[in-house]
Amino acid sequence: MLAPVVTSALVISLAAACSSGSSEKKGASTGGTLRVGVVASTISTLDAYANLRSQDFYVRNATMFEPLAHRKKDGGYEWALATGITHNDDNTEWTVKLRPNVKFHDGSTFGADDVIAVFQRVLDKKNALIERNYIDFMDPKGISKVDDLTVKFKLPKPYGPFEFAVTNSNIIFYKKDSKPEQAMGTGPFQLVSFSPGRETLVKRFDGYWGEKPKVDQVKIISFKTAEASTNALIGRQIDASSNILQTSLRTIEKTPGLKIMKSDVNLKVSIGMRADTEPFKDVRVRQAMRLIMNRKLALSNAFDGLGELANDHSGFNRCLPAVPQREQNLEEAKKLLADAGKSNLSINLETAANKPGMLQLVQILAEEAKKIGVTIKVQKMELGAYLEKWGERVFYTGYDTRPYLEGVPEIISNDAVLNHTHWNDAEFKSLAAKLYATSDPQEQCEIEKQMKKIEYERGASILTATNPTVSVYSSKVNGLIPEFPSGNLYDFRKVTIDQ
Amino acid sequence: MAIETTTTDGAVKAAPTPDRSRRTALAWLIARRALMGLVTLWCISVIVFVATQTMPGDVAKIILGPSATADQVAQLNKNLGLDQPLFSQYWDWLRNVLTGNMGNSLVSGQPVSELLSERIFNSATLTVMAMVLILPLSLLVGLLAAVFRDKLLDRSYLGVSLIVTATPDFVLGSLVVALFGTVVFKVLPPVSLIPPGDAPWQHPQELVMPLAVMVLVGVTYLSRLVRVSFIDVMESEYVQLAMLKGLSMRRILFRHALPNALAPSIPAASIMAAYTIAGSVVIEYLFAYPGIGSALVDAVAGHDLPMIQAIIMLMAAAFFCFNQLADVLGTLNKSR
């Protein structure tokens, strides 16, 4: 009984303590070293396209490398290494204009050859890179150099959201033929030293084409756990981190000199139901499970009140369908199960509990299900074992941080690993085909709304809440901004430190 | 036991030239022990290899995550050489090790020796510093507890040591962090951040908490052995006689009791050192200390076989050496 009261108090106090998404402050001094804490693996590498990726990989890459453009919240782009992208009428030929006078950290000039080399590497199946999934509509042979600052992409078939695909924040550019350990990028910081799993030190790159960073150096310090990162923040051993133990937020709030920053919501912890297998083959059973979930309770108790209610469709706060917020309705759920002949359903739910709140979420579902005679047995598994049968599991947990356009290809894929719910909806697929054929953002948005409505009505995931990334930083640090869409602290160009 | 038999045998066989015979026996003993050590390490390498193969989960799937297609997983397994037969994988690893090459990390592709060299130094430093503190403190605490046997001091000590021994290292460490680092006093750095390239002793503040936990655990175990040894010696006839003769307590304790009480504790100290190496995995993980223990946790999570093999072999070798030392010291003590 005490838990909701405590949680409410925590939510209110956190809301008061949280800044409004950035740590801007006028008149701060320049220089100094910013110490950023990340949870990382001992066995990370400097390669911009390393296979193993923990938080240090993303923070390090964001300081030293750049994409063609940064995506913005409103769906637009802030151009980085490109200055514009044009296309022909049927969306089969796309031309990328590159920014002139961009230098690599060794002083050499960035150009079309470097862009082509990166795309060829990503598209080469032998390299087994995840980024290939975002641009597999391309033909490697169709990429050609027009001049030093222009690259042309001839596609095998029309593809509308080309700009969206090639501006993925993980598709970043390094100098052609440079060695991975050189980390030869064009970003605002350049490499000083790297010790795997311990520390990366970067310094301001004075030849940077854009607004130069104000701090002299950024030290990216790796920790094994969020507990250690949180302790280091409280102990003043680091200045900022997005890898925080959420259960420690109350202690952090009471610690003088520390501030909390929430990003926009960017994470959905999901419960998947395999739609081609009993009992979830029947849409009534899937809908019943969605109605059993007490979303408000889950948001307050599993996610510490951080975030917003979600409505059983993927994507975040853009292009939302006109459907009511789904609420718990045990009577309706019981009726649907009875209609489907599954009144006393008993089923296992497997989870790796690899995101905050995931285990608590499924436990809440199991407890609520008991009230109408449904037995859900929660099985917590080690991550390696859990992933081994990914794509085969019937009732399971997952999470999604991707924008809608990036997530849909997996939902409609024929690959069981990608389309892990095995949900095949003809109308949804037909709309997806239209979505990827048009390059008009307005039209894309309208199609997205229809697709999300279908997910809401007959999809195969329970999406309860969307959560923000919570970062904590020293009050001496100004100018930190949560990166879009990840919400993490990746952009240190505007950071100043009070000396 | 082996030394005793061999020594006896050696003395009989080499009656005409006892020194030469003893040297030969000693050389044979060392060779036999070294061979046994190598066989032990080989057995461990096979066990670790088999254990990692039976661990649930596929390395490529763990590396690439749930968004990887079956093709991508298969390609990465091929790139890593994991599509080869198990025997072939093991033979490749063993052949490299025999030529002094510990191989490359499966996950990062970097040489294992490069990834571990500084971490080995850091872990060795932490263990040596802990032992340097554990040994004299155990002696002092054990001696005081024995002298004040059944008094308040002794009872309090026994109570505390029972609680410490019963508490897992992880819990004990977390309490120490909360008490001195994050919640109550905030006087010590809660995390052991040793910058790359620096020796741990250049950052004494960062060492205080991990060392304190290791020493607390070590002293409460070893000092109880010292206490029991002292009590035995203090009750022996020759100490009772010394007391009756009116010798000072200091003279009795340090001149007569100490050498005899210490002897059984020395092998225990060697075993303690071996356990300290193994126990450092938890401590390093808890305090984010950059040693081989924290690297092992990562390697196991990532199923990075060459890294796991290298770290386990190192720990096993150290464990074996300390056990042999305990064996030798125990035998020497028995002979004496």
The pLDDT value given to residue A115: 97
Residue A448 predicted with pLDDT over 90: yes
Nearest by CB: A415 against B65, B69, B196 = B69
Chain A residues with beta carbon closer than 8 angstroms to that of B208: none
Which chain B residue is nearest to residue A134, measuring alpha carbons?
Answer: B67
User: In the Cβ-directed half-sphere of B135, how many Cα atoms lie within 13 Å?
Assistant: 14
Chain A nearest-CA distance from B292, in A, is: 10
Using the Cβ of A223 and the Cβ atoms of chain B, whether some distance falls under 8 Å is answered with yes
- Indicate the pLDDT class of residue B334, thresholds 50, 70 and 90: low
Residue A132 to residue B297, Cβ atoms within 8 A: no
Measure Cα distances from A78 to A69, A93, A495, B186 in Å.
Answer: 5, 22, 19, 43
Of the ranges A107-111, A153-157, B237-241, B268-272, which one carries the lowest mean pLDDT score?
Answer: B268-272
The pLDDT value given to residue A243: 86
The pLDDT value given to residue B336: 56
Separation of alpha carbons A131 and B69, rounded Å: 12
Domain ranges of chain B: 19-98, 116-334
Which chain B residue is nearest to residue A407, measuring alpha carbons?
Answer: B67
The pLDDT value given to residue A207: 95
Name which residue leads in pLDDT, B109 or A164. A164
Q: Which tokens belong to B119?
A: 């971490």
The pLDDT value given to residue A22: 55
User: In the Cβ-directed half-sphere of B252, how many Cα atoms lie within 13 Å?
Assistant: 21
Tracing tokens 């060795």 back to the chain, one arrives at: B124
Separation of alpha carbons B27 and B9, rounded Å: 14
Measure Cα distances from B24 to B27, B28, B35, B329 in Å.
Answer: 5, 6, 16, 20
Residue B110 to residue A196, Cβ atoms within 8 A: yes
Chain B nearest-CA distance from A209, in A, is: 31
DSSP summary character for residue A264: E
Using the Cβ of A402 and the Cβ atoms of chain B, whether some distance falls under 8 Å is answered with no
Chain B nearest-CA distance from A155, in A, is: 22
The pLDDT value given to residue B18: 64
A14 CB-contact burial (10 Å; exposed 0-12 / middle 13-18 / buried 19+) = buried
The pLDDT value given to residue B85: 84
The pLDDT value given to residue A189: 97
Chain A segment 33-72 residues within 8 A of B by beta carbon are 41-45, 50-53
Q: What pLDDT digit, counting tens, does each position of A183-235 carry?
A: 999 999 999 999 888 899 999 999 999 999 999 999 999 988 888 899 999 98
Task: Tell me the backbone φ, ψ of residue B288, rounded to 5 degrees.
Answer: 55, 35
Summarize the confidence of residues B300-328 as an average pLDDT: 83
Separation of alpha carbons A186 and A78, rounded Å: 16
Residue B108 to residue A125, Cβ atoms within 8 A: no
Q: What pLDDT digit, counting tens, does each position of B122-146 carry?
A: 998 998 899 889 988 988 898 889 8
Q: What pLDDT digit, counting tens, does each position of A344-376 carry?
A: 899 999 998 888 889 999 999 999 999 999 999
Nearest by CB: A196 against B115, B193, B301 = B115
The pLDDT value given to residue A68: 97
Give bridge partners of residue B180 from the DSSP assignment: none
DSSP summary character for residue A71: E
Interface confidence: ipTM more than 0.90? no
Residue B58 to residue A125, Cβ atoms within 8 A: no
As a whole number, the mean pLDDT across chain B is 82
Strand runs (DSSP E) across A289-370, as ranges?
308-309, 346-351
Separation of alpha carbons A386 and B57, rounded Å: 7
With respect to CATH, is domain B116-334 assigned 1.10.3720.10? yes
Chain B residues with beta carbon closer than 8 angstroms to that of A398: 66
Q: What pLDDT digit, counting tens, does each position of A137-146 carry?
A: 999 999 999 9
The pLDDT value given to residue B29: 77
Residue A126 to residue B307, Cβ atoms within 8 A: no
The pLDDT value given to residue A5: 40
Chain A nearest-CA distance from B184, in A, is: 11
Residue A239 predicted with pLDDT over 90: yes
The pLDDT value given to residue A499: 77
Measure Cα distances from A342 to A274, A275, A347 in Å.
Answer: 16, 15, 11
Q: What pLDDT digit, counting tens, does each position of B44-69 carry?
A: 888 888 887 777 777 777 777 777 77
B198 CB-contact burial (10 Å; exposed 0-12 / middle 13-18 / buried 19+) = middle
Residue A225 to residue B62, Cβ atoms within 8 A: no
Residue A30 predicted with pLDDT over 90: no
Residue A45 to residue B65, Cβ atoms within 8 A: no
Q: Which tokens belong to A211?
A: 């607004």
SS (H, E, C) A391-410: CCCCEEEEEECCCHHHHHHH
Q: Which tokens belong to A160?
A: 């509308």
Q: What pLDDT digit, counting tens, does each position of A55-88 carry?
A: 889 999 999 999 999 988 887 899 999 999 999 9
Name which residue leads in pLDDT, B268 or B199. B199
Chain A residues with beta carbon closer than 8 angstroms to that of B190: 231-232, 234-235, 237
Chain A residues with beta carbon closer than 8 angstroms to that of B67: 130, 133, 410, 418
Q: Which of A463, A141, A223, A209 is nearest to A323 (CA)?
A: A463
Residue B22 predicted with pLDDT over 80: no
Residue B67 to residue A410, Cβ atoms within 8 A: yes
Name which residue leads in pLDDT, B4 or A473. A473
Give bridge partners of residue A472 from the DSSP assignment: A241, A260
Summarize the confidence of residues B184-210 as an average pLDDT: 90
The pLDDT value given to residue A218: 96
Q: Which of B185, B190, B221, B222 is nearest to B207 (CA)?
A: B190
Chain A nearest-CA distance from B284, in A, is: 10
Using the Cβ of A410 and the Cβ atoms of chain B, whether some distance falls under 8 Å is answered with yes
Name which residue leads in pLDDT, B192 or B6. B192
Chain A nearest-CA distance from B296, in A, is: 9
CA torsion, ordered A22, A204, A37, B215, to nearest 10 deg: -150
Q: Which tokens belong to A233?
A: 């923040």
Chain B residues with beta carbon closer than 8 angstroms to that of A43: 105, 107-108, 110, 115, 295, 298-299, 302, 304, 307
The pLDDT value given to residue B333: 63
Residue B56 to residue A388, Cβ atoms within 8 A: yes
Nearest by CB: B63 against A52, A386, A417 = A52
Nearest by CB: B69 against A221, A383, A418 = A418
Name which residue leads in pLDDT, A134 or B79. A134
Q: How many CB pairs under 8 A join A and B?
A: 154
Separation of alpha carbons B286 and A122, rounded Å: 38
Most B CBs within 10 Å, among A36, A46, A51, to test the B interface: A51
Nearest by CB: B297 against A129, A224, A390 = A224
Name the H helices within chain B: 2-13, 18-54, 59-64, 70-79, 86-98, 112-147, 152-166, 169-177, 204-234, 237-244, 249-251, 258-287, 292-301, 305-335
Q: What b/e string do you get for A449-482 counting C-beta neighbours within 10 Å, with b at 16 or more?
A: bebbbbbbebbbbbbbbbbbbbbbbbebbbbbbb
Summarize the confidence of residues B268-289 as an average pLDDT: 81
As a whole number, the mean pLDDT across chain A is 88
Using the Cβ of A401 and the Cβ atoms of chain B, whether some distance falls under 8 Å is answered with no
% residues pLDDT > 70 (chain A): 94
Name which residue leads in pLDDT, A12 or B158. B158
Chain B residues with beta carbon closer than 8 angstroms to that of A387: 57-58, 61-62, 65-66
- Indicate the pLDDT class of residue B10, thresholds 50, 70 and 90: very low
Using the Cβ of A383 and the Cβ atoms of chain B, whether some distance falls under 8 Å is answered with yes
Q: What pLDDT digit, counting tens, does each position of A33-60 carry?
A: 999 999 887 677 889 998 777 888 999 9
Q: What pLDDT digit, counting tens, does each position of A277-314 carry?
A: 999 999 999 999 999 999 999 999 999 888 899 999 99
Q: Which tokens belong to A244?
A: 């925080």
Summarize the confidence of residues B201-224 as an average pLDDT: 91
Most A CBs within 10 Å, among B83, B112, B191, to test the A interface: B191
Residue B63 to residue A225, Cβ atoms within 8 A: no
Nearest by CB: A51 against B63, B181, B303 = B63
Nearest by CB: A231 against B69, B76, B181 = B181
Nearest by CB: B193 against A43, A132, A232 = A232
Q: Which of B304, B62, B55, B116 is nearest to A51 (CA)?
A: B62
Residue A51 to residue B76, Cβ atoms within 8 A: yes
Which residues, other chains included, contact B252 with Cβ-Cβ below 8 Å and sequence gap of 6+?
B239, B242, B243
Separation of alpha carbons B95 and B106, rounded Å: 17
Tracing tokens 């329970």 back to the chain, one arrives at: A462
Q: What pLDDT digit, counting tens, does each position of B76-127 carry?
A: 888 777 888 888 888 888 888 888 788 888 877 788 888 888 888 999 899 8
The pLDDT value given to residue B148: 87
Name which residue leads in pLDDT, B81 or B170. B170
Residue B191 to residue A418, Cβ atoms within 8 A: no
Q: What pLDDT digit, counting tens, does each position of A472-484 carry?
A: 999 999 999 888 8
Separation of alpha carbons A190 and A56, rounded Å: 15
Cβ atoms of B315 and B292 within 8 Å: the answer is: yes
